[in-house]
Structure formats: C-alpha cells, structure tokens
Structure 1
C-alpha cells in the first residue's frame, strides 16, 4: 500500500483534468479561486491542445499531464477539475510506477472512480472520493461538507461516516464485516469488469452511487455485478445516492429503493443504504483503499473508518 502525506489548508495541490473539461470556464476559475482562498498553493496541469469534444484533450495529452503531476514530489495532492468521461480511455497509459514512488492524494469522484480503482489495483495507492474544482468548489461547499473533506484529507481515522447533517445509514441486510473500503460511481465500477483495473473485491466493503440512471439501468448494473460473482464475494455493500433517476410517470417501474433492496440478499455480508454521497452539493467525502467496518442490525447501520487514508 502507498500512503500519501496529509493535505493541510497551506499545502500545495495540482489541479488535473484527466477526463472532461469544465463545462464553463468561469466554473474552473471560481473553483481555483476558492481553493486559493483556503490558503492552498494551487498549480494547474494544463492539457496540451485544449478540449476535444467531451474530453479535456487527446488521450496522449491527458495522460501526459496526469503522469507529469504524478511524478512531482512537491505537491501534496492532485485535485480533479471535474469528472465527465475519459479515464477509461487512458488507464493503460498511466505511470503506475510513478504513483507508487511518489504517493499523493488524488481527489475526485464520478469518472475519477476509474482512476482511484486502477491506482489501488496497480500501485496500492489510497485516494479520496471528494469534491472537485469546477463541479463543487466553484458552487461553494457548505460548512459541514467542507469540514468532512478536510477531516479525510487531513488523515483522520477512527470515525463513523455520517452525512453532513448527521444522517445515519439504513440497514438492508444484517451482519458485521471489516474490509478495505473501495468504490465510487456504479457505472464505472461495472465498466471495469473484465479489465485488469478492477480490484479484487473479495471481502471488500463496496460503496456506490450514480446519477441520471433510471431504475432499470441501476438494476442492470447490479445484475452484472451479481452474474460476475462480485456481490457474493463482497464483505459488505453501502449504497449512496442515485439522483436524477426519474422515469416518465406513465412508465411501469420499480423505485430505486426497491431495486437496491432486491439485490441486497445476493451480498455475502451486511448491506446499508442512505449514504449521503453522490452527485449532490452536500455530501460525505469517502477515503478509498482504507480498512473500515460495516455493522448492520435490524435497527441501525454504521460504517466506521478504521485507518487513515494518509501516512
């Protein structure tokens, strides 16, 4: 395992765009200003050639900028500009040896899930599934969301994961397990099936969320994980938020909650829902690649982070 050093509000970060560019250049500028206002020293890893369609640049340019940032010893963290799409195209171009030799926090979520899981698989590098520059910092983080972010990147351990407003988890299947906490966006976890970049999830506690996916699409992704034997090998599963999952009112459908409940029995351990994590302004920041404990009984569920994401 590669443990990065903690990030303090006076640390140095490099902003990278390994997937999509900002939808609005003003969001990028506002997000960068917000980071600097906290006291961070901020560098921007420019992608040569600029945006191309839905990508922040060509595959070679995006991988080159990311690898250059991974090789630096003078930055404490890489904070992603936004998610979108693109990391699946460059996972085989990443300098995993540099990530192992120069460990640093990688902060992001959504499409960045592919990067977190690949770096854990290939380099044993922990990560932070948390707010991004143009998607979150530009909009303004509420005080509780920001405090949770600093707690994780600062290296805290030994705490229960609760929502920014103190929201608790809801149990779906009883049990207790300890394992490595891994996950992120459900579509990206599913997309990595059959590739060398999906970690061995045997005994792991998987957390997942998604956005803009109708219940039948969520059903299909969970079905793929079941058919691949992933669900039965998990130590536990925690469902985050599945936002913008509405279907037309005249279409027959299960609700998202019904779909999640239908797949809980296939998991080889405890299952919980209600994690305040996903494509929403107020959300928990999750460490990736650290040991955690998930406990569920017939009344309550608790996700307890045992280890620090930093060294």
Structure 2
C-alpha cells in the first residue's frame, strides 16, 4: 500500500536513542523512499553517545532545523529509547507555531509530541518509526497510518490484529485524543510541557513496567488531577509486565480496573496499541468518537490531523 502523501517531503530525526541495527534503519529508509518520499535528513548518521543518538547539541540542532523548514508537513522519528526529555527546554516553540507539522513516533517520542502539542499546538501520530516498523511495513497498520497522514477524517482506529477490546465502562464521547507512553507522560507532570488532559480521550500504553510501577504512575496522574475530568480512556497493552512468580502482586488488569472501573466516562482496555509491531496508530490532537458497549468498542477520528495535509 502506498502512503500517497500530498507533500512527499518528510523530515527524519533521531531525537532519542540510537538505531539498534543499522541494517534495519537502512531498510526502513529504503522502504520509505520506495513510497515516493523525499527524506530530509539534517544528519546522515546517528553515532551512539551513551544511550543517545548523538549528544544533546547534535540532536537538538537536527530537530530545530526540521522545525524551521516550511516545506515539511511530517517529521518521522528513527526510534524511541530515551533522550527526548533532555531536548524539551531547547526546542524552538515559536518557530514551531509558525510551521506546524505532524510528529510521528511513540515510546520516548511521547515527550516531544506532548510538549509540542502543549507549547505549539502540533498534532502527533503515535505510530510506526523508521528503524522499528518501517523495515517491514504491514498493510494492516499502514492503511490507517496513511489515511491519517493524508488528512482524512472518519478513520477507524480499531484493532488491526484481530484482537478484541475489553469494555470497562460503557458510554460514548467525542473529544480530542491525547496520550502515548504512560511513564514518559508522567515524567512531564509538574513541568510546562504537560498538556491539559481535561475534556480529552486519553490513551496509554507501556512496556517493561511491573504492575506496582504502573500503579505508581497512574496514582501520580490521579493525584495531580489529570484523571479527574477526562472525556474517555483507551488503555492499550502493557507488555513485559509480569511480576516474578515469588512476589505477591496484582495483575495489570486489576491495577487498571482500580483506577478506571468507576470512571464517569467511557473506558476500554486491551486496545491494539503498544510496544509491538502490529498495532493501530493513534493520533494526538484531533477530535475522535469513542464508543464503548458491551461486547466491543470503536474509535474513529472526526477531524484531520493537520488541515494542510
């Protein structure tokens, strides 16, 4: 399937961790070019600097150079990992306001997506990255991904892997979508980069966090008031979260139920979204309709990601 973007130029950035396999990155870039895209790369290589894809100055210079380009509508990240938080206070938010773009990525990229949404009004797309999913694109995730990046509306964001969401609280909501990686979002609490979640449909996922840590992260969001006035919640997958067999623990499902079972807004869990290849892309910013009923749930966009797409 072809992306068929109106603007074939997209920026490529590595603002967090380095690519773990140079061959997979090269294949991902070739696959993007095979889509007819022109890749704008301020850096041709991403040298490993500890757990980062280059030092902070190099990564910040790269990202701000892409922000300043009026000929781009999309910036696609190489991968997540860690390191985006170190750039937030150096981003050129004033220029970002003049040249809005869609920032594509997930995991640690959540920090950049939420900061740019809060400070510059940028939308985001929590989805496939250049060195992670793009080496082996799959039409099942590519179809909604492409439709979102083409600026279409009424895009179904439901499972692309045949899984069945689990209703937690029935209801319907129409509100802006916002979310991403739980641990990364929680690190923004108390900073000027944390968006206002009131009136939004919040979506969350994580990887490698044990149930007690997921509980602690959700408790922090709740105590900070960020779960009080949501319009809805879409809970994705919390993978690699099994507690050791010799440690007493709640399950992840029990933790999620504790925080969301009595919510006065619709809630669904087991959404096809998280740290695994075949997942539904989820946008940050546009309004969407969440419907949760006994036996299933649906999520559909009501607005384009970016009017210029």
Deviation readout 1:54-95 (Å, 9 max, x if unpaired)? 011222221111000111122231110000111111101001
Matching residue of 1:3: none
1:247 aligned onto 2:243: yes
Q: Is the 8 A contact 1:204 1:236 kept in 2?
A: yes
Matching residue of 1:227: 223
Q: Is the 8 A contact 2:6 2:150 kept in 1?
A: no
Task: After TM superposition, give the deviation of residue 168 of structure 1 in Å.
Answer: 4.4
1:292 aligned onto 2:288: yes
Matching residue of 1:123: 120
Matching residue of 2:279: 283
TM-score if structure 1 supplies the norm length?
A: 0.92
Task: After TM superposition, give the deviation of residue 131 of structure 1 in Å.
Answer: 0.4
Root-mean-square deviation (Å): 1.9
Matching residue of 1:89: 86
Matching residue of 1:34: 31
Matching residue of 2:197: 201
Unaligned runs of 5+ in 1: 1-5
**Aligned length in residues:** 305
TM-score if structure 2 supplies the norm length?
A: 0.93
Alpha-carbon distance in 1 for matches of 2:143, 2:298? 20
256, 278, 302: which one aligns with 1:306: 302
Task: After TM superposition, give the deviation of residue 48 of structure 1 in Å.
Answer: 8.6
Matching residue of 2:13: 16
Matching residue of 2:155: 159
Q: Is the 8 A contact 2:207 2:239 kept in 1?
A: yes
* Runs of 4+ that moved beyond 4 A: none
Alpha-carbon distance in 2 for matches of 1:175, 1:16? 39
